[in-house]
């Protein structure tokens, strides 16, 4: 890649790919040399910073006060909004990109909303009509853990739910994607033990178009104006890929041909 000037010096630089041939080559020299590269196989955020890690993305530009890292230091606070995941709507939803088909995703949440109908938890989402919400909701003074599945061109369905009679306002969500299926579990004893809520097929959030899948955090008051205290506080999230047979997940390998050209393999 070269940058060629079009006009006065240092002005209007224009990228030229493969300047020697003018075309995209099947093999080309590695720009950073022959070195070991670290593959992206794990992620953890304890929310100890006052600025959000750049791995986090929003489906749309977040509104002011959608989230806070200072309201409760060491936690990411997602404020409940009336909006839910829906076409052309901004809601309290943030995520990190899913880079592997087999992985573990965990998130610890403190949840003590004031208003009825508020829910908070994790979301695996691809588009506004393709997502899975694994959340805790407050209804009529009772807490329930639930799994809502929305698939493209299908009606939303509540795949599983069960009451949390002794909910102490803290929960750890765990999602495992392995063996061609999702496993949704939760813990109310700080990760000492996990209870399986549901198992599903792994083809729930397929890619349609350009958008990849995300592992996210979510909070909503489900159409009602939120009250003071309607939020979900996330202590940490952790994501890790499962090892694949024959692949060292701790590194990416740079391969070269005799001519000094190569490619990066993962």
Indicate the average pLDDT of the chain.
85
What's residue 14's pLDDT?
A: 65
Q: What is the DSSP letter of 81?
A: B
Tell me what the mean pLDDT of segment 23-28 comes to. Answer: 79
d(CA 75, CA 79): 12
Tell me what the mean pLDDT of segment 80-101 comes to. Answer: 92
Dihedral of the CA atoms 68, 89, 130, 187 (nearest 10)? 30
Q: In degrees rounded to 5, what are phi and psi of residue 70?
A: -115, -20
Tell me what the mean pLDDT of segment 68-87 comes to. Answer: 96
Among the ranges given (178-187, 204-213, 232-241), the one the predictor scored with the smallest mean pLDDT: 204-213
pLDDT beyond 50 at 191: yes
What's residue 6's pLDDT?
A: 53
What's residue 36's pLDDT?
A: 63
CATH class of 43-241: mainly beta
Please report, for the chain, the start and end positions of each structural domain, with discontinuous segments joined by +.
Answer: 43-241
Q: What is the pTM of this model?
A: 0.79
Summarised one tens digit per residue, pLDDT across range 99-121 is 898 999 999 999 999 999 999 99
d(CA 200, CA 183): 7
What's residue 258's pLDDT?
A: 37
- What's the helix, strand, coil split of the chain in %, to 5? 0, 45, 55
d(CA 228, CA 232): 12
Summarised one tens digit per residue, pLDDT across range 133-182 is 999 999 999 999 999 999 888 889 999 999 999 899 999 999 999 999 99
pLDDT band at residue 199 using 50, 70 and 90 as cut-offs: very high
d(CA 230, CA 215): 22
Tell me what the mean pLDDT of segment 236-243 comes to. Answer: 94
């Amino acid at each position: 890649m070269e940058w060629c000037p079009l006009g006065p010096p240092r002005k209007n630089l224009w990228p030229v790919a493969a300047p020697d041939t003018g075309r995209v080559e099947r093999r080309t020299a590695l720009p950073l040399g022959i070195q070991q590269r670290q593959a992206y196989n794990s992620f953890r955020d304890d929310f100890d910073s006052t600025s959000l890690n750049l791995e986090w993305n929003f489906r749309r530009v977040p509104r002011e006060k959608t989230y806070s890292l200072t309201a409760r230091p060491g936690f990411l606070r997602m404020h409940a909004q009336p909006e839910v995941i829906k076409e052309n709507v901004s809601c309290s939803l943030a995520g990190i990109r899913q880079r592997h088909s087999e992985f573990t995703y965990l998130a610890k949440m403190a949840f003590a909303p004031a208003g009825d109908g508020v829910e908070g938890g994790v979301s695996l989402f691809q588009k506004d009509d393709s997502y899975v919400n694994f959340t805790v909701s407050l209804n009529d003074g009772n807490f329930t853990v639930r799994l809502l599945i929305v698939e493209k061109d299908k009606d939303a369905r509540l795949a599983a739910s069960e009451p949390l009679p002794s909910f102490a306002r803290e929960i750890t969500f765990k999602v495992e994607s392995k063996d061609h299926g999702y496993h949704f579990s939760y813990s109310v004893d700080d990760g000492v033990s996990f209870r399986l809520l549901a198992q599903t097929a792994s083809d729930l959030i397929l890619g349609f178009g350009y958008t990849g899948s995300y592992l996210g955090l979510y909070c909503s008051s489900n159409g009602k104006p939120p009250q003071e205290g309607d939020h979900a506080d996330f202590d940490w999230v952790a994501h890790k890929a499962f090892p694949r047979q024959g692949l060292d997940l701790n590194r990416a390998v740079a391969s070269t041909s005799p001519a000094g050209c190569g490619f990066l393999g993962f």
